[in-house]
């Protein structure tokens, strides 16, 4: 199933991109989460180029993308029964599994660490691309390190030179936020990065406890073990403020001027009355799908600040609550980055 409005997979374009990857080149590919900056995961030089293009610190590991559970077995030391059950339940889909890596995976991919994050993306064009390459592809979000993730091919083209990065257009990303990252090497299993797939659904499949890692610096809880997700991230150029009430929004506008752009939830009554607002959908999946594009839109006119209405923490079904939690995590990081 394709992303809404996605162009049909063009076999010649996919073949050309596969050739580029085979030569050690870099290709941006669509997924259901965000666009990935792809390279052959077994080609060290190609992987180094991805770090270089993104300006990504070498210790921040890359997720390896596979077209099947069978291909996933080539990048891990042991493909466990738990991994297979999660793959059966959620792949192709936005769940990354962290397991001990196999010797085939160069250390540069994993930030020098002993584990690898692997997932099978839910996008027909990219599944065809990986199949044509016959090897797993690294695919960090296709944005300069620390900035807003790309959810359209145009976002990628704005950031990278076409001579460096060939972009495979698969339309707008359906889910719009990065995958859930789950560490299966620890007990209890640990969500290192929240995403569309919530801890409850994972626990139901595993039949054991799943905890959500917290940043030690922000919430004084168990240390987060996902390298690279600490500190500023997901940030537009303008300073981001999270606001809960119209009064708080007014104070940001009074302090920084009428150029402030507000990202508000449709029908919440937060916009209007002298505030320039971009409206976002009320339901969690559609909000998440729009969020990064809306942040970019708000940022485009170089406003003095972007004020984002804090999304509801506990609205809707368990699935929706998981998405709101993931959305809030990204917005909090964007706000921390200023
Ligand atoms: P990105 O591909 O830009 O969405 O970032 C991938 C993120 O996944 C990294 O920043 C890590 O937080 C996490 N990740 C990837 N591989 C591992 C791993 N082996 N162990 C822990 N976290 C990982
Ligand atoms: Mg990223």
CA pair distance 307, 262, nearest whole angstrom: 5
Query: If pLDDT is split at 50, 70 and 90, which confidence band does 303 have?
Result: very high
Evaluate whether residue 228 is within a structural domain: no
Residues of the domain holding 319:
239-336
| 229 Cβ inside 6 Å of ligand 1 | yes
Same-domain check for residues 259 and 131 = no
Same-domain check for residues 265 and 191 = no
Same-domain check for residues 264 and 197 = no
Evaluate whether residue 225 is within a structural domain: no
Ligand 1 atom closest to 60 (CA): 10
CA pair distance 78, 74, nearest whole angstrom: 9
Same-domain check for residues 143 and 271 = no
User: Which residue's alpha carbon is at the smallest distance from atom 16 of ligand 1?
Assistant: 117
Q: What is the dihedral of CA 185, 187, 189, 194, to 10 degrees?
A: -100
Specify burial of residue 73 (Cβ count, 10 A radius: 0-12, 13-18, 19+): middle
Evaluate whether residue 41 is within a structural domain: yes
Same-domain check for residues 81 and 185 = yes
Task: Kindly report the pTM of this predicted structure.
Answer: 0.93
Tally of domains in the chain: 2
- The residue with greater pLDDT, 71 or 336, is 71
Encode pLDDT of 224-264 as tens digits.
Answer: 445 444 445 667 889 999 999 999 999 999 999 999 999 99
Same-domain check for residues 190 and 300 = no
- Residue 203, Cα to own-chain centre: how many angstroms? 22
Evaluate whether residue 91 is within a structural domain: yes
Evaluate whether residue 201 is within a structural domain: yes
Q: What separation in Å is there between the alpha carbon of 62 and the centre of ligand 1?
A: 5
* Contacts of range 246-251, beta carbons closer than 8 Å, 24 or more positions apart: 246/270, 248/307, 249/275, 249/307, 249/309, 250/275
* In the block, residue with structure tokens 């409206």: 279
Same-domain check for residues 166 and 294 = no
Same-domain check for residues 205 and 295 = no
Evaluate whether residue 43 is within a structural domain: yes
- The residue with greater pLDDT, 6 or 164, is 164
| 121 Cβ inside 6 Å of ligand 1 | no
Could you report how far apart the first and last alpha carbons of the chain are, in Å? Answer: 38
Task: Give the number of other CB atoms < 10 A from CB of residue 157.
Answer: 16
Ligand 1 atom closest to 117 (CA): 16
- Length reported for the chain: 338
What is the percent of the chain where pLDDT is above 70? 91
Q: What separation in Å is there between the alpha carbon of 250 and the centre of ligand 2?
A: 32
Final residue in a domain of this structure, among 212, 230, 262 = 212
* Domain CATH for 42: 3.90.870.10
Evaluate whether residue 1 is within a structural domain: no
Closest CA to 61 of 104, 13, 96, 18: 96
| 118 Cβ inside 6 Å of ligand 1 | no
């Amino acid at each position: 199933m394709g992303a809404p409005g996605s162009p049909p997979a063009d076999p010649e374009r996919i073949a050309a991109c596969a050739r580029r990857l085979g030569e050690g080149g870099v290709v941006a590919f669509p997924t259901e989460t965000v666009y990935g900056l792809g390279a052959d995961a077994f080609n060290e030089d190609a992987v180094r180029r991805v770090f270089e293009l993104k300006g990504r610190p070498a210790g921040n590991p890359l997720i390896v993308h596979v077209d099947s559970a069978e291909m996933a077995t080539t990048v891990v030391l042991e493909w466990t029964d738990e991994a297979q059950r999660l793959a059966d339940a959620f792949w192709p889909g936005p769940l990354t599994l962290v397991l001990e890596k196999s010797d085939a995976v160069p250390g540069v991919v994993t930030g020098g660490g002993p584990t690898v994050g692997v997932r099978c993306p839910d996008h027909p064009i990219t599944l065809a691309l990986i199949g044509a390459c016959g090897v797993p592809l690294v695919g960090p979000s296709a944005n300069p390190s620390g900035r807003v993730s790309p959810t359209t091919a145009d976002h990628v083209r704005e950031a990278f030179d076409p001579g460096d990065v060939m972009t495979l257009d698969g339309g707008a990303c359906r889910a719009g936020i990065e995958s859930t990252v789950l560490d299966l090497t620890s007990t209890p299993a640990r969500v290192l990065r929240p995403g569309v797939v919530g801890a409850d659904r994972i626990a139901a499949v595993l039949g054991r406890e799943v905890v959500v890692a917290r940043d030690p610096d922000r919430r004084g809880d168990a240390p987060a073990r996902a390298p690279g997700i600490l500190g500023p991230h997901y940030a537009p150029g303008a300073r981001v403020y999270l606001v809960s009430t119209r009064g708080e929004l007014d104070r940001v506008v009074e302090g920084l001027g009428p150029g402030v752009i507000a990202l508000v939830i449709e029908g919440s009554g937060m916009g209007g009355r002298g505030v320039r607002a971009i409206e976002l959908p009320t339901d969690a999946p559609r909000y998440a799908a729009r969020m990064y594009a809306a942040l970019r839109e708000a940022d485009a006119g170089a406003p003095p600040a972007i004020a984002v209405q804090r999304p509801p923490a506990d609205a809707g079904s368990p699935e929706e609550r998981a998405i709101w939690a993931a959305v809030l995590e990204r917005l909090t990081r964007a706000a921390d980055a200023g």
